[in-house]
Amino acid sequence: MEAGVAVGRPRSVARWAVLGGVLYVILFVIGTIVTFSGAPSGDAAPAKVIQWYSDSGHRDRIHIGWILIGLAVFFLLWFIGALRRAVSAVDGEGILTGVVSLGGGIYAALALASVALSDGIRTMSDDTYQHRVFPELIHAAGDATWVMHATGAVGLGGMIIAASLAFMWGAVWPKWAGWVGVLVGILALASIAFFPQFLFLLWILVVSLWMFLRHNSLSKIASSI
């Protein structure tokens, strides 16, 4: 009985961990909306920036967005772990498995760093003399964190390409799905252009659901290696 529990628990964790991708997409989108909705754009007049960020309610909303995005990346880590396990079932401890781990970890680290930097600078008026707002710093934070997050997507692109090739070469996916995944991974390298971010979010969402529904099949592949 105890042996059965010991075997069952890792499989149960692996099955539910794949849904971390779904939770990541949902929380990341909601957190981004909460954080940036209504905020002045980068080329807004300084007076408008000062007025908006002087509102403590707006700063509190940024903190909530920071929490939501942080939780999103937390759940993404579980998805990355589950994805690595699935890739290792067809690649062993090969290069593709390693790229999935490293790429996913690089993106997660830079995503957390970017949202932390954004929150810290955009709400720093809480701790300044007379709660002063510095529009230039807020503008710099917006540019720096955007580039940081887009740079992290290089790791995510590597993860997507590696997983897509592994599933295609292992006959887990049809060739068309594998090449679509490779294309998404390549486009993720250009996340600075904004649109590719929708594509990698969609890839994570679809693959997360697919892995959850096909968990038993993937487990059989893993056990045969």
Q: Is 9 among the domain residues? A: no
Q: How far apart are CA 2 and CA 9, in angstroms?
A: 11
pLDDT digits 0-9 by tens, 103-146: 999 999 999 999 999 999 888 877 777 778 888 888 898 899 99
SS3 (DSSP) at 133 = coil
State the average pLDDT for the chain. Answer: 87
Residue pLDDT, tens place only, 48-62: 988 888 888 888 999
- pLDDT score for 1: 35
In a domain, 149, yes or no: yes
pLDDT at 200: 93
pTM here is: 0.86
Mean pLDDT over 51-79 rounds to 92
Do 39 and 12 touch, CB atoms closer than 8 A?
Answer: no
Examine residue 65 and state whether it is found in any structural domain, yes or no: yes
User: CA-based Rg of the chain, rounded to a whole angstrom?
Assistant: 20
The count of structural domains within the chain is 1
Structure confidence at residue 218 (pLDDT): 57
Least confident window among 55-59, 78-82, 188-192? 55-59
Predicted confidence at residue 9, as pLDDT, reads 54
Residue type, 118: S
**DSSP 8-state symbol, 36:** H
Residue 3 has pLDDT above 70, yes or no: no
Q: Which residue range(s) make up the domain with 180?
A: 14-217
Instruction: Using CB atoms within 10 Å of the CB of residue 145, give its burial: 0 to 12 exposed, 13 to 18 middle, 19+ buried.
Output: buried
| CA 208 – CA 154 distance, rounded (Å) | 20
What is the model's pLDDT at position 53? 86
- Domain assignment present for residue 222? The answer is no
Output the six-digit token pair for 98: 């390693």
The helix/strand/coil state of 17 is: helix
**Does residue 35 form part of some domain?**
yes
Task: Work out the average pLDDT over 152-168.
Answer: 95
Q: Give the 3-state secondary structure of 144-186.
A: HHHHHHHHHHHHHHHHHHHHHHHHHHCCCCCHHHHHHHHHHHH
Q: Cα–Cα distances in Å, from 221 out to 4, 87, 104, 173, 215?
A: 20, 10, 23, 13, 10
